[in-house]
Structure 1
Amino acid sequence: MNAHFPQRRSGCATRRLAGASALALSLSLALALPAGAAQPAAPVIPAPTAQSYPGTIVLNVDATNLSQQIFQMRMSIPVKPGPLTLLYPQWLPANHGPNGPITQLAGLKFSANGKPVEWTRDPVQVFAFHLTVPEGATTLEAQYQYLSPLDATQGRNTMTDDILGVQWVSTTLYPAGYVARGVTVQANLKLPAGWHYATALETADRQGDDVHFKPSDLETLVDSPLFAGRYYKQFDLDPGAKVPVRLNVFADSPESLDAKPEQIAAHRKLVQQAYKLFNSHHYDHYDFLFALSDEFGGIGREHHQSSENGVKPGYFTDWAKSEAGRDLLPHEYTHSWDGKFRRPAGQDVPNFNTPLQNELLWVYEGQTQYWGNVLAARSGLVSMAGARDALAATAARYDSVAGRNWRAVQDTVNDPIMNARRPLGWANWQRSEDYYSEGQLIWLDVDTRLRELSGDKRSLNDFARAFYSVNDGSHLPAFYTFEDVVATLNKVQPYDWAAFLRNKLDGHGPGAPLDGLARAGWKLVYTDTPTDLVKGADDRNKVTDLSYSLGFTVAQDGAIRNLIWDGVAFRAGLAANSSIVAVNDRVYKPELLKAAIKEAKDGKPIRLLVKKGNVLRTVSLDYRGGLRYPRLERIPGTKDRLEGIYSALK
């Protein structure tokens, strides 16, 4: 540790000297100004107006540098002489926060009439670039790169030797002063030799490996990412339909593309069940972009006419073990209705540098989480038992979130803005984006209460048809408020829904909101045997989940993760930056720790040798409860409403 101190001091000293120099320079410049002279004003960023930007911007993306994972951009922007501000997108749709990957933007240069044009970054709005277009110039040329992250510390990898993803939001600049729908962009893409691609964008033509897309407004472009790859297969999920729905699969190897007919049949049933639920569609065609890869970054991101989805290989070829992740496509597909067509009023912003307001994400994401679980079961992508096991895992997780004692789920909608999805040291206490899955539990409560109040004649299915089927076929988003949600619920079944929802959203427990589970005829219990879903998730993530016994998850190498606040391990002084070296004087193995937990029921101690940094210490855990894994159990004498919820619509 000491060896690093001089380096730190040197860095701090350098910064202090730099700061002092900057201050001295500022003072000298101020003194040099004539008495009473005004300081030069910073350039103003024009506010967006409804006028259309004159001309079409041409964006060329070269995605052929696979070995260095660099996207090379050239952009031609129609301009007129004078001040111009260009913006790099900051507030990313579906990311819910100001997380534009501006640190990956590099090499930015402008020119006009063959001569360089200098730029300056706005000192406050650092996603804005100011420049002056010279006299006589009608086109501004821009050159820059998007550097795909080289490891997980830099972000999600979007380019490998076999698969790449073009998120236009990361590769484009646009003029300030205009709404996104008023800026027209014509995008072109150079692909690696012989590669296939899929996108919701309309293709004008392809010449060899150069693809030219039809001009579109900036909002549509940003909402239409592209996947490309060496190994590719497309599946028609609605054969013969006027409105196509396609599953575009890219993989590290051709073997991973081997899908069986019954697997594709379940994905086709997903489309039909969604249509029966929402009684509408709001796209000309829909494209699932689906990557099966060990290297291409995992993702689940919604768009109006497509979605980006990335999981590990084996989705098709190891079908029996992939059930736990098969609600991803139903979730992202649901977003075409919930989040992209129907949008919270706070998401009605003119461009990608205007802050989003997230107060209704418990509808946008929470209800989508609910429908993702339900549609996965209704389509057969997940068995009914698997859907119940997933619900049990969610209920147990939120029943153990100690942070509910001080922080309401409504406040967690601010996490994408506050935390930008960075890891948390004490997530169980700090809370994170719990509006997703705690939101799911709230919507289960709404669904079962609708069923109970109406004598099982009405349900959340009726809300979905009423709320999402308006303006069938329209692409234009329909914005809503909290009052709109309440009004639609009251049309389905009169009740004090405003008070009901506010109680759930603003309350603090204790425990998770499990009334809906009980009303569905089930209760959360714990047994000493994990469900197949929990076991599969542990195997896939290479961890041992002991959250409901010792109060943490442990990796194969002994690293402690996800420690439960005020749980057994917490009370023994452990933290999630420690690792287990030995269990009862034997070198750590997951099976040894599980055996020690079982033996502790008979009074034997659980003694751990724990390493934190360079310090080793022995910790004794006072626990006699045995292994505990969540599952659902029927409540005798009650109606099984989960069966009705998970059964396919006729």
Structure 2
Amino acid sequence: MRTFLVLASALIAAPVLAQRSLPQPLPIVDAVPAAKDTPFPGTLRLHVDTTDTLHGVFKVEETIPVPPDLAGKKMALLFPKWLPGKHAPRGEIEKLAGLEIRAGGQVLTWKRDPIDVFAFWVDVPAGATALDVRFQFLSATDGPQGRIVVTQDMLNLQPNSVSLYPAGWFTRQIPVSLSVTWPQGWQAASAMREASRDGSRVSYQTVDYETLVDSPFFAGRHFAKWDLGQNVTLNVVADDARFLKANDEQIGKHKALVTQAVKLFGTRQFDHYSLLLSLTEKMGGIGLEHHRSSENGVDTGYFTDWDRGPGRRNLLPHEFTHSWNGKHRRGADLVTPDFRTPMRNSMLWVYEGQTQFWGYVLQARSGLVKVEDTLDQLATIAATLDNRPARSWRSLDDTTNDPIITPRAPKGWLSFQRSEDYYTEGLLIWLEADAIIRRESGGARSLDDFARRFFGTGDGDWGVKPYDFASLVAELNAVQPYYWGSHLTRRLTEKADGAPLRGLELAGWKLVYTDKPSAAFTDANRRQVNLLFSGGLLLGLAGKVDQVLWNSAAYEAGLAVGDVLLAVNELPFSDDALRAAVTAAKGGATPIKLVVKTDDRVRTVEWAWTGGLRYPRLERIGAVKQTSLEMLLSPRK
């Protein structure tokens, strides 16, 4: 009884807890009008002043006609969000500043859409016929802010960063007339064509907004231009004029690139094409495709250090190939009406993977990169994927989501996370496809036949012809009957320990490791110590750990990205000391002792790697005089 009374008293004295509130969320309402495939009534007029190179500020003045049915109503203006070539929502809306909108001289109030922050709503006065828009694009002035696009000697103007467009229309239906004021004395290049000039102010021919966004500019104080034939030009800006000293042989290999590409595809899917190239240590690097141009940024020694090795000479063949693959032929789920509609990247293993394949083929066929260096580069690609444990849990098709999942941000455990592997593993898949076609046809056909049939659809046509998996398989079967559907599905969805190296083997080569790096490997790792295949460690400058291979000896030693090596076997750290220690430990039982700084702590770890230095190479299988891979890399007559 006493216990009962105590419990009853406690219950009476306890406070009554309030019932948890459970509200219903407000509905998500997308008020921005969907794009219609009808002509926009009027022409946008856009002027960009690029002369403030000291601050890296682009000043924008834009006149946007008001459709008659929107006068006196709300009108939505959009900043490009989903960017072609980047396969993701990468528009730098945070750099838009100073936005002011007027109509008839009256300042209007604008309000950002609460759902889509790339959209701006404007109350248009009755009777208004145009909106006058002013804003600045504040380009990055320091690395953490984003890619540097303006220096004192050059700039990269991307129209998507300096324009708004009206919501409700396909972007290909919106005409735009662009003019740009360039810094005094600078020269500019683009796929855009000049209409008139007034001093440093250049007006360009009117195009649709989709074409405008697809037509970036490089401009600079130090500029050179070469005609490569086939209506293709190489336009180069540099930090200094001395970096523009290209010799006839070098330019000849660029001409050969154009010739070999046209021989491969059989057509030019452009009316004219501008390879835009920056040679710089100041402006940010880039490799971005467009239909009639490409943005390419490499270091200053592209011409002057030519003999050091291949360098970045794969970039131009890759981006040029995109005029056919990616821009003209494109996965159907990547075709969008505007730059607001999300992109779906399921076919990037074709878009980027086969472009990666043809980029390496064309670099060899043109002589931009020697065949032996190309083989060594392919060895590194194969070895990297063959040492990627993430393949055991994450299939290739899922990596096509990476542009959206992670915008090329650094990863702590790249080998166990994967990244945009549809590039390099896609290359191996298409290398295998070429070998299969050669085998099944008795050497009568190759992937060249597919490229000519699939990508070259009509000379000068720079429209878009979409495809899906079924139509791709049908085109492959038209070239060479095979189980293409099931074969490609297996390659895209398999989870395996090791890379798909069957294509290399069918082409007459196998992946091996030696204790001496190839010239191409050394060239590609000028600023790193690459021991990923020698115990799982990649170092940057001054002993900083840039990558650790998952479950490798370096991983088991407790090393991680961001650590700094201070000493090796009781000697002060140096790149040579580390390599010497790896060599000395080969075949023994004694681990390598490393003194490591992690944050504010110093510790000693034992790196139990006794396999010595290992560098990837391709080794010929058998005594075949010329393998099918060598045939693939040979120039077309």
- 1:392 matched to 2:379? The reply is yes
Give yes or no for contact 2:330–2:464 (8 Å, CA) kept in 1. yes
Residue 616 of structure 2 is matched in structure 1 by: 630
Residue 647 of structure 1 is matched in structure 2 by: 634
Alignment gaps of 5+ in structure 2: 1-22
Of 580, 584, 591 in structure 1, the residue corresponding to residue 576 of structure 2 is 591
Letter in 2 for 1:575: A
Deviation by residue 1:281-318 (Cα, 9 ceiling, x = unmatched): 11111100010000111011100000000000011111
Matched residue SS, 1:570: helix
Deviation at 1:556, TM superposition (A): 2.5
Of 544, 558, 564 in structure 2, the residue corresponding to residue 559 of structure 1 is 544
Alignment map for 1:158-177 (pairs within 5 Å): 158-177=149-168
Alignment map for 1:224-623 (pairs within 5 Å): 224-238=215-229, 243-539=230-526, 542-601=527-586, 602-623=588-609
CA distance in 2, matches of 1:320, 1:482: 42
The alignment yields a C-alpha RMSD, in angstroms, of 1.4
Deviation at 1:586, TM superposition (A): 1.7
CA distance in 1, matches of 2:136, 2:466: 35
- 1:75 matched to 2:66? The reply is no
Deviation at 1:471, TM superposition (A): 2.8
CA distance in 2, matches of 1:552, 1:478: 44
CA distance in 1, matches of 2:477, 2:502: 20
Matched residue SS, 1:375: helix
CA distance in 2, matches of 1:427, 1:172: 36
Give yes or no for contact 2:30–2:115 (8 Å, CA) kept in 1. no
Alignment map for 1:140-219 (pairs within 5 Å): 140-219=131-210
Deviation at 1:346, TM superposition (A): 0.5
Percent identical pairs in the alignment equals: 47
Residue 11 of structure 2 is matched in structure 1 by: none
Give yes or no for contact 1:290–1:308 (8 Å, CA) kept in 2. yes
CA distance in 2, matches of 1:469, 1:161: 41
Give yes or no for contact 2:170–2:337 (8 Å, CA) kept in 1. yes
Give yes or no for contact 1:81–1:138 (8 Å, CA) kept in 2. no
Of 99, 106, 110 in structure 1, the residue corresponding to residue 90 of structure 2 is 99
Deviation at 1:324, TM superposition (A): 3.4
Matched residue SS, 2:88: coil
CA distance in 1, matches of 2:297, 2:58: 20
Deviation by residue 1:441-461 (Cα, 9 ceiling, x = unmatched): 110000011111111111000
Q: Structure 1 residues 396-405 or 105-114, which shifts more?
A: 105-114
Deviation by residue 1:82-134 (Cα, 9 ceiling, x = unmatched): 21000111100000011111111111111112221111111111111111111
With normalisation by structure 1, the TM-score equals: 0.92
Matched residue SS, 2:462: coil
Matched residue SS, 2:83: coil
Give yes or no for contact 1:556–1:590 (8 Å, CA) kept in 2. no
Give yes or no for contact 2:43–2:175 (8 Å, CA) kept in 1. yes
CA distance in 1, matches of 2:62, 2:537: 50
Give yes or no for contact 2:236–2:278 (8 Å, CA) kept in 1. yes
Give yes or no for contact 1:43–1:122 (8 Å, CA) kept in 2. no
Letter in 2 for 1:86: L
Matched residue SS, 2:86: coil
Aligned residues: 607
Give yes or no for contact 2:269–2:462 (8 Å, CA) kept in 1. yes
Deviation at 1:175, TM superposition (A): 0.5
Matched residue SS, 2:397: helix
Matched residue SS, 1:325: coil
CA distance in 1, matches of 2:472, 2:322: 17
Letter in 1 for 2:579: K
Matched residue SS, 1:124: coil
CA distance in 1, matches of 2:336, 2:29: 25
Of 49, 56, 59 in structure 1, the residue corresponding to residue 46 of structure 2 is 59
Give yes or no for contact 1:324–1:390 (8 Å, CA) kept in 2. no
Deviation at 1:423, TM superposition (A): 1.4
Q: Given the superposition, is the C-alpha separation of residues 42 and 455 from structure 1 closer, same or farther in structure 2, using an over 3 Å criterion?
A: closer
Residue 5 of structure 1 is matched in structure 2 by: none
Q: Structure 1 residues 468-477 or 270-279, which shifts more?
A: 468-477
Give yes or no for contact 2:435–2:503 (8 Å, CA) kept in 1. yes
Q: Structure 1 residues 482-491 or 43-52, which shifts more?
A: 43-52
CA distance in 2, matches of 1:529, 1:206: 57
Residue 6 of structure 2 is matched in structure 1 by: none
Give yes or no for contact 2:309–2:520 (8 Å, CA) kept in 1. no
Deviation at 1:136, TM superposition (A): 2.8
Deviation at 1:492, TM superposition (A): 0.9
Letter in 1 for 2:538: T
Give yes or no for contact 1:148–1:158 (8 Å, CA) kept in 2. yes
Deviation by residue 1:482-540 (Cα, 9 ceiling, x = unmatched): 1111111101111110001011110012200100001111111111111101111221x
Deviation by residue 1:597-634 (Cα, 9 ceiling, x = unmatched): 01112444310011110011100011110001111111
Deviation at 1:342, TM superposition (A): 0.5
Letter in 1 for 2:569: N
CA distance in 2, matches of 1:488, 1:409: 22
Deviation at 1:248, TM superposition (A): 0.3
Deviation at 1:322, TM superposition (A): 4.4
Letter in 1 for 2:97: A
Q: Given the superposition, is the C-alpha separation of residues 584 and 40 from structure 1 closer, same or farther in structure 2, using an over 3 Å criterion?
A: closer
Give yes or no for contact 2:547–2:560 (8 Å, CA) kept in 1. no
Residue 135 of structure 1 is matched in structure 2 by: 126
Deviation by residue 1:306-358 (Cα, 9 ceiling, x = unmatched): 00000000111110124131111000000000000011101111001001110
Moved over 3 A (4+): 39-43, 602-605
CA distance in 2, matches of 1:378, 1:399: 27
Letter in 1 for 2:144: T
CA distance in 1, matches of 2:128, 2:266: 52
Give yes or no for contact 1:393–1:631 (8 Å, CA) kept in 2. yes
Deviation at 1:53, TM superposition (A): 1.3
Give yes or no for contact 2:535–2:611 (8 Å, CA) kept in 1. no
Alignment map for 1:105-124 (pairs within 5 Å): 105-124=96-115
Matched residue SS, 2:548: coil
Matched residue SS, 2:126: coil
Q: Given the superposition, is the C-alpha separation of residues 43 and 645 from structure 1 closer, same or farther in structure 2, using an over 3 Å criterion?
A: closer
Give yes or no for contact 1:159–1:165 (8 Å, CA) kept in 2. yes
Residue 49 of structure 1 is matched in structure 2 by: 36
Deviation at 1:176, TM superposition (A): 0.4
Q: Given the superposition, is the C-alpha separation of residues 444 and 43 from structure 1 closer, same or farther in structure 2, using an over 3 Å criterion?
A: closer
Give yes or no for contact 1:315–1:322 (8 Å, CA) kept in 2. no
Letter in 1 for 2:537: F
Deviation by residue 1:130-156 (Cα, 9 ceiling, x = unmatched): 111112321211111111111221211
CA distance in 2, matches of 1:576, 1:646: 37
Give yes or no for contact 2:302–2:311 (8 Å, CA) kept in 1. no
